[in-house]
């Protein structure tokens, strides 16, 4: 049981990483199944379009699915189009434009991992790229693979089906063309993988170098955010359950219940905005910022109400 709880805690802690890892694994398995079961190059004028559709459309679907599954994005988007948000302006739901752009770029990069996995594996397996290149109606492409051989240029679209279609070009030329296409496809695949890893490394280095806090405080920040979310989920469930129980009992018993304290809409909106670090005060999350400012306002109201002789006493008590 303890091991199960530990695994559950790790799953909750790294749910974003695990989610995109699972989506990338799904992309890898899907590409393998599609290329071996569903995909079959038509070996005619449809080669180019058919290969591009199988290479890019599933990648686009995985990209959109990655956006749909990102909770950080929906947290910022929810409620941004209501009248109150428009009245307050763009900063009502996003804080700062630069920080909003950072969130979008972060979500875009994470969502791009599964489709890039699909494309990289497809390029390494060559079949999609072979179908695309053999169907390109460009003289430059035909000359690059066939030189000045007119028969080869004419039969280039049939090369992906060379094992089942009789061709009028020699076996040596056929193997040479397939070898060139295979080399190009696999080189592009490895370059794509290397580019993604290099971009991730550079982005991580830039993010860490521009961190407003030290490494230890950054670890503390992450720990605080995880615990705050855990307690917020627990108390939200308990609070919602108590409110639901009160309302149901009131409905069936036809009794008037005492007032149930619940945060106002503006309070929920305040803690749902994007968090941005400032050097003026240390606010780890919007909830932390909301509580600290509320506390400061309460202290200010006490100072404005109490006589000078009582202010010092009240502040000492606080």
Which span out of 171-180, 189-198, 291-300 was modeled with the highest average pLDDT?
189-198
Residue 153 has pLDDT above 60, yes or no: yes
Per-residue pLDDT tens for 34-67? 777 888 888 888 888 999 999 999 999 999 988 8
Per-residue pLDDT tens for 204-227? 898 888 887 888 988 898 899 889
Could you tell me which of 270, 271, 292, 269 has the C-alpha nearest to residue 282? 292
80 vs 73 pLDDT, higher one: 73
What average pLDDT does the segment 141-168 reach?
A: 79
DSSP string, 270-298: HHTSPP---SSS--SSHHHHHHHHHHHHH
277 vs 155 pLDDT, higher one: 155
Domain ranges, ordered by start, for the chain: 2-209, 278-318
In this prediction, residue 35 carries a pLDDT of 79
pTM: 0.74
Burial string for 40-50 (b: 16+ CB within 10 Å, else e) reads: ebebeeebbeb
pLDDT band at 194 (very low <50, low <70, confident <90, very high): very high
In this prediction, residue 30 carries a pLDDT of 82
In this prediction, residue 88 carries a pLDDT of 55
Burial string for 64-82 (b: 16+ CB within 10 Å, else e) reads: ebbeebbeebeebeeeeee
In this prediction, residue 254 carries a pLDDT of 83
């Amino acid at each position: 049981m303890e091991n199960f709880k530990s695994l559950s805690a790790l799953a909750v802690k790294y749910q974003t990483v695990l989610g995109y890892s699972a989506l990338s694994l799904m992309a890898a398995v899907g590409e393998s199944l599609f290329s071996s079961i569903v995909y079959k190059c038509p070996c005619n004028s449809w080669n180019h379009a058919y290969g591009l559709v199988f290479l890019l459309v599933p990648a686009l679907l995985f990209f959109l699915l990655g956006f749909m599954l990102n909770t950080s994005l929906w947290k910022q988007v929810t409620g941004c189009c209501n009248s109150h948000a428009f009245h307050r302006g763009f900063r009502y739901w996003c804080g700062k434009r630069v920080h909003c752009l950072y969130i979008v770029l972060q979500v875009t990069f994470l969502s791009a991992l599964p489709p890039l996995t699909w494309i990289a594996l497809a390029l390494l397996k060559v079949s999609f790229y072979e179908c695309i290149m053999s169907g390109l109606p460009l003289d430059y492409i035909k000359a690059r693979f066939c030189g000045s051989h007119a028969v080869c240029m004419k039969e280039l679209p049939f090369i992906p089906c060379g094992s089942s279609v009789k061709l009028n070009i020699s076996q040596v030329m056929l193997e040479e063309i397939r070898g060139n296409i295979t080399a190009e496809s696999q080189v592009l695949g490895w370059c794509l993988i290397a580019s993604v890893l290099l971009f991730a490394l550079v982005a991580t280095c830039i993010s860490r170098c521009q961190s407003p806090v030290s490494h230890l405080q950054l670890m503390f920040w992450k720990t605080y955010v995880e615990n705050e979310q855990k307690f917020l989920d627990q108390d939200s469930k308990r609070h919602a359950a108590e409110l639901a129980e009160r309302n149901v009992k009131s409905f069936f018993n036809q009794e008037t219940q005492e007032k149930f304290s619940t945060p106002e809409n503006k309070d929920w909106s305040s803690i749902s905005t994007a968090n941005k670090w400032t050097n003026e005060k240390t606010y780890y999350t919007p909830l932390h910022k909301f509580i600290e400012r509320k506390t400061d306002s309460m202290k200010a109201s006490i100072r404005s109400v109490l006589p000078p002789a009582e202010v010092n006493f009240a502040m000492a008590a606080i």
